[in-house]
Chain A
Amino acid sequence: MALLEVKDLRTSFHTDDGVVKAVDGVSFSIEKGETLGIVGESGCGKSVTCLTIMGLNPKRNTTSSGQVLWKGKELLGAKPRELREIRGDEMSMIFQDPMTSLNPVHSIGKQLVEAVQLHRDVTKKVARARALELLKAVGIPRAENRFDDYPHQFSGGMRQRVMIAMALVNDPDLLIADEPTTALDVTTQAQILNLMKRLQQEFGSAILMITHDLGVIAETADDVVVMYAAKVVEQAKVDDLFSRPQHPYTWGLMGSLPRLEADVERLTQIPGQPPSLLRPPSGCRFHPRCPYVMDVCKTKEPLLAPTHHDPDHRQACHLDEETKEREAAKLLAATMAEAG
């Protein structure tokens, strides 16, 4: 049994302008101890997917359907109390912006102790010792002295370490990381990613890594889900995705990765903007931005189907296999050539 299995997840928000389908039929599963990456542009529904899994979407004007199976147990529509017991204990989450994700009026120590005591019936002293242990594990220098400091006394990278410590304090089975490095500068990003990888080995938690950065995916993930406009467009093992990408959107994402070695004037970009989820394009949602667009793309929605070379590699595109293989090979060759 998978640790987490998401089946045909749909979440919509009812706004004054109409219904926004923020997540539209997403399925994936995560095994114990492995890392699944969800990649896509801003507003493609990645964050809403994890908030729905955690049951953290606002209750008003939100409807979710499908299945979220946590160790075989349905979480969608579970009682708030049951969700609360899982959240922060078996399953925890770190957020994009460490500057605003910690409560400014409580010391970081207090916030960690709270996380422990919400789930463990232990004394403050025991909770404090555990919190301190985690602060040391995430590499806060002089953790004892900084225990009673407030969030504003820490840098962004240090705050994200504190967030990670808080998420791991109860030794969760799954850590959901929603763009954990986006708000940090590049050197700090690498440190945080390395820290997460090291801690994953130490704690054995599975990670659901949400990012818009394929570089982060390449670095951390075992499996990848590529999302575009609330839907999954491609899904594969990480090596397979990078060696045989099958969807024009994935190609676009790969083309926009900066490379030090390549001597290119500017990054290739995917033309246009991601579509509004209020009124998504007909047919394939990527068709207005797709350089390979055909007539069929405008009317018929492509279904997520296994590719011929690997049933675990699934993609949703009308292009024929031959073209896809050719383009993937071209892209790969170009990357290789750049890497030289």
Chain B
Amino acid sequence: MFRYLVRRMLWAIVLFLVIMFVTFVIFFMAPSDPARAVCGGDQARPECLVRATEKLGLDKPIYDQYGRFIGRLMPVSKPISRDGGLHFVTPHFKTPSLGTSFATSQDINQRILQAAPVTASLVFGGAVLWMLVALSIGIFSALKPRSLLDRGAMIFVLIGVSAHPVWIGLILSYSFGVRWDITPIANYAPFFGAPADSGLPGGPWQWFYHMILPWCTFALLFSALYVRMIRANVMETLNEDFVRTARAKGAPERRVLIQHVLRNALLPTVTMLGMDIGVALGGAIFTEQIFQLPGLGRTAIGAIGNQDLALVQGVVVFSTIAILVFNLIVDLLYAWIDPRIRLT
């Protein structure tokens, strides 16, 4: 188990470096001029361009730039030996840094830390919502296939899968926000309260209130997909021999369902849920855009528009880590739920 964890961690690091390198190369290839972006675009003064190029190391070869980038990300700094000889030098711990934004010179760590809670609120809240919907509908329609409820659920799935989140979001904000005036139509309210002098809404209730529509929009597609999957898995598991054994033991249907069917049927859902959350943490672009949520997706889009490669890279780093971490969580969870899987 411990060995497994260590091996997985090492793999995650290798994977991380590879992904970073690939994104780095892509941005390097892209026709852009970071120095100009830093100096304020078209009106950039030549002196500024020279200084920026030097400061960002844009004149250096790509591997060198990559090395600096990774160096900044490491939690320890490179030990420097003063006389050039090989001595044991105590590593110097530091906070990993994603650098500064090309466009605004803001600290990117700061930007990510601001945007991540917004996306996390959207994704985790949405996941809770879609799992509630998908579990209840999926299980009920599996228990009563071809019933009215099942047919209704399948129509819901069809709509959920085909309707674009932008359309859903707009319809929801028009009807609930504008027409009936029940919910806000945009913006984010921080869970732990907005800064006192900002005059903006904040606190748990406002947070919840502002997130209702984004959650619904974000969760619809996923709940549709999950309803289908859960329904299929539950139906398949209901036909398993061990379910018949449980009935032959005299177990009531409720117990058969909870103790014997669901635990087996929901195994694949665990995998999918972990991966989907990991991926979505990189930014739920459509939903964030419609509801003006300052999350990672919007941050990334804005950064791309500004040719702010450093910021884009920052978002990529964050979402890569999110995906890797959630994959690991899924694997551990899976082994915990399913005794047949041994982590060795």
Contact B249 A95 (CB under 8 A): no
Residues of the B chain whose Cβ atoms lie less than 8 Å from the Cβ of A93: 248
* Complex Cα gap A166–B253 (Å): 19
Q: Does B53 contact A (CB under 8 A)?
A: no
Contacts A104-B264, A104-B338, A105-B263 given: A85-B244 contact, CB under 8 Å?
no
Contact A114 B249 (CB under 8 A): yes
Q: Give the contacts of A64-100 with B (CB-CB under 8 A).
A: 80, 84-89, 92-93, 95, 97, 100
Contact A152 B339 (CB under 8 A): yes
* Complex Cα gap A264–B296 (Å): 78
* Complex Cα gap A93–B241 (Å): 12
Q: Does A303 contact B (CB under 8 A)?
A: no
Q: How far is the CB of B91 from chain A (nearest CB, A)?
A: 45
Contact A97 B241 (CB under 8 A): yes
Q: How far is the CB of A192 from chain B (nearest CB, A)?
A: 17
Residues of the B chain whose Cβ atoms lie less than 8 Å from the Cβ of A48: none
Residues of the A chain whose Cβ atoms lie less than 8 Å from the Cβ of B264: 103-105
Q: Does A26 contact B (CB under 8 A)?
A: no
Q: Does A298 contact B (CB under 8 A)?
A: no
**What residue of chain B has the Cβ atom nearest to residue A103's Cβ?**
B242
Q: Which of B241, B244, B248, B253 has the most CB of A within 10 A?
A: B248
A-B pairs under 8 A by CB, number? 72
* Complex Cα gap A80–B254 (Å): 13
Give the interface size bracket for A toward B.
20 to 34
Q: Which of A84, A102, A118 contacts B242 (CB 8 A)?
A: A102
Q: Does A54 contact B (CB under 8 A)?
A: yes
* Complex Cα gap A119–B250 (Å): 8
Contact B241 A95 (CB under 8 A): yes
Q: How far is the CB of A50 from chain B (nearest CB, A)?
A: 10
Tell me the dominant secondary structure on chain B's binding face. helix
Q: How far is the CB of A258 from chain B (nearest CB, A)?
A: 28
Q: Which of A56, A100, A103 contacts B247 (CB 8 A)?
A: A56
**What residue of chain B has the Cβ atom nearest to residue A97's Cβ?**
B241
**What residue of chain A has the Cβ atom nearest to residue B247's Cβ?**
A56
**What residue of chain B has the Cβ atom nearest to residue A96's Cβ?**
B241
* Complex Cα gap A152–B342 (Å): 12
Residues of the A chain whose Cβ atoms lie less than 8 Å from the Cβ of B252: 84
Residues of the B chain whose Cβ atoms lie less than 8 Å from the Cβ of A92: 248-249
Q: Which of B240, B248, B259, B339 contacts A100 (CB 8 A)?
A: B240
Residues of the A chain whose Cβ atoms lie less than 8 Å from the Cβ of B92: none
Q: Does B87 contact A (CB under 8 A)?
A: no
Contact B250 A101 (CB under 8 A): no
Contact B248 A103 (CB under 8 A): no
Q: Does A154 contact B (CB under 8 A)?
A: no
Contacts A103-B260, A114-B259 given: A84-B241 contact, CB under 8 Å?
no
Contact B242 A101 (CB under 8 A): yes
Q: How far is the CB of B258 from chain A (nearest CB, A)?
A: 12
Residues of the B chain whose Cβ atoms lie less than 8 Å from the Cβ of A114: 249, 251, 259
Residues of the B chain whose Cβ atoms lie less than 8 Å from the Cβ of A101: 241-242, 244-245
Q: Which of B255, B259, B337 has the most CB of A within 10 A?
A: B259
Contact A150 B249 (CB under 8 A): no
* Complex Cα gap A89–B247 (Å): 12
* Complex Cα gap A119–B252 (Å): 11
* Complex Cα gap A106–B242 (Å): 11
* Complex Cα gap A245–B327 (Å): 65
Residues of the A chain whose Cβ atoms lie less than 8 Å from the Cβ of B338: 104-105
Residues of the B chain whose Cβ atoms lie less than 8 Å from the Cβ of A102: 242, 245
Q: How far is the CB of A115 from chain B (nearest CB, A)?
A: 5
Residues of the B chain whose Cβ atoms lie less than 8 Å from the Cβ of A106: 259-260
Q: How far is the CB of A262 from chain B (nearest CB, A)?
A: 36
Contacts A114-B251, A118-B249 given: A56-B244 contact, CB under 8 Å?
yes
Residues of the A chain whose Cβ atoms lie less than 8 Å from the Cβ of B244: 56, 95, 101
Contact B242 A115 (CB under 8 A): no
Residues of the A chain whose Cβ atoms lie less than 8 Å from the Cβ of B251: 84, 88, 114, 118
Q: How far is the CB of B240 from chain A (nearest CB, A)?
A: 7
**Cβ contacts B145-162/A at 8 Å (1 or 0 each):** 000000000000000000
Contacts A103-B242, A104-B242, A114-B259 given: A56-B250 contact, CB under 8 Å?
no
* Complex Cα gap A85–B187 (Å): 58
Residues of the A chain whose Cβ atoms lie less than 8 Å from the Cβ of B246: 103
**What residue of chain B has the Cβ atom nearest to residue A115's Cβ?**
B249
Residues of the B chain whose Cβ atoms lie less than 8 Å from the Cβ of A107: 339
Q: How far is the CB of B332 from chain A (nearest CB, A)?
A: 16
Q: Does B179 contact A (CB under 8 A)?
A: no
Residues of the A chain whose Cβ atoms lie less than 8 Å from the Cβ of B3: none
* Complex Cα gap A85–B246 (Å): 13
Contacts A103-B260, A114-B259 given: A87-B340 contact, CB under 8 Å?
no
Contact B340 A104 (CB under 8 A): yes
**What residue of chain A has the Cβ atom nearest to residue B146's Cβ?**
A60
Q: Give the contacts of B221-271 with A (CB-CB under 8 A).
A: 240-242, 244-253, 255, 259-260, 263-264
Q: Give the contacts of A104-160 with B (CB-CB under 8 A).
A: 104-107, 114-115, 118-119, 150, 152
Contacts from A to B (Cβ < 8 Å): 54, 56, 80, 84-89, 92-93, 95, 97, 100-107, 114-115, 118-119, 150, 152, 163, 166
Beyond A95-B241, A104-B340, 8 additional contacts (C-beta under 8 Å) are A95-B245, A103-B260, A103-B264, A104-B339, A105-B339, A118-B250, A119-B250, A152-B339
Q: Which 8 A-B pairs have the closest CB atoms?
A: A88-B250, A88-B249, A100-B241, A87-B250, A103-B242, A150-B339, A93-B248, A101-B241
- 10 inter-chain pairs at a CB distance below 8 angstroms, sorted by A residue, are A56-B248, A84-B250, A87-B249, A88-B249, A101-B244, A104-B264, A104-B340, A114-B259, A115-B250, A163-B245
